[in-house]
Structure 1
């Protein structure tokens, strides 16, 4: 059993208010008809176990959650950043939350990486067959 609570009647959003996509998607989640829990990772510490569960729910590695092409990442870690291990990536997400590649929504037991505000709108449509969900 995971440490992240699952509720089929609630959307849980992990996002950073330090980037514009995170703020936009948060606004969409807040305006949705569904009960929601928004976790702003720039204000709330997400544990390593939670990051591992989020990555696993998306069928990705933790390093895939980090925006390694972001200028701040490149300035700090350079090309060697591609070789960071899981623990390093967790520390990056905890200390530099704006480096979260995309907000992550959990709806019931579905984990969705939201690349844009439009992807959330599409996700909320009754027939979201066109959305890549993990």
Structure 2
């Protein structure tokens, strides 16, 4: 059992509010006809275990959760390539949650990084998201 609670009747969003996509996803998720859990990573401490679980469920490395081109990242860590261990990447996210590269949505047992607004529409299905390909977010 993971540390992140999931529920088929609930949508969970992990996001940072300083990104335009994060703001859009927050508004859009809140408009859904499901229960919503919003995790603003700038206000809520996400543990290393939770970050690890998110990466695992997304089938990516923890480093892939981090925007390595973000000005704060390059200021603190320089430019890559980087040869850091998983626990080092976890420390980066724990100390600098603003580096989260994309919002993450959980719907039941399904996890997805939202890289563009239409990803959310596809993830939720056009009917349940209230949008279609001709009228994306």
Q: Into which bin does the TM-score normalised by the smaller protein fall? A: 0.7 to 0.9
What is the distance in 2 between the residues matched to 1:16 and 1:120? 16
What is the distance in 2 between the residues matched to 1:63 and 1:39? 20
SS of 1:24's equivalent? helix
**How many equivalent pairs are there?**
129
Residue pair 1:25, 1:116 contacting (<8 A) in 2 also? no
1:92 aligned partner: 92
- Is 1:27 equivalent to 2:32 in the alignment? no
State the Cα distance separating 1:72 from its structure 2 match.
1.9
TM-score by length of 2: 0.85
Residue deviations 1:30-67, cap 9 Å, x none? 01112110000100000111011000000011111001
Q: Mark the runs of 5 or more structure 1 residues left unpaired by the alignment.
A: none
- Is 1:38 equivalent to 2:25 in the alignment? no
State the Cα distance separating 1:123 from its structure 2 match.
2.2
Higher gyration radius (CA): 2
What is the distance in 1 between the residues matched to 2:109 and 2:61? 18
Residue pair 1:41, 1:94 contacting (<8 A) in 2 also? no
State the Cα distance separating 1:81 from its structure 2 match.
6.2
TM-score by length of 1: 0.87
Q: Mark the runs of 5 or more structure 2 residues left unpaired by the alignment.
A: none
**Cα-Cα RMSD:** 2.0
- Is 1:49 equivalent to 2:52 in the alignment? no
State the Cα distance separating 1:80 from its structure 2 match.
4.7
What is the distance in 1 between the residues matched to 2:42 and 2:14? 10
What is the distance in 1 between the residues matched to 2:120 and 2:62? 22
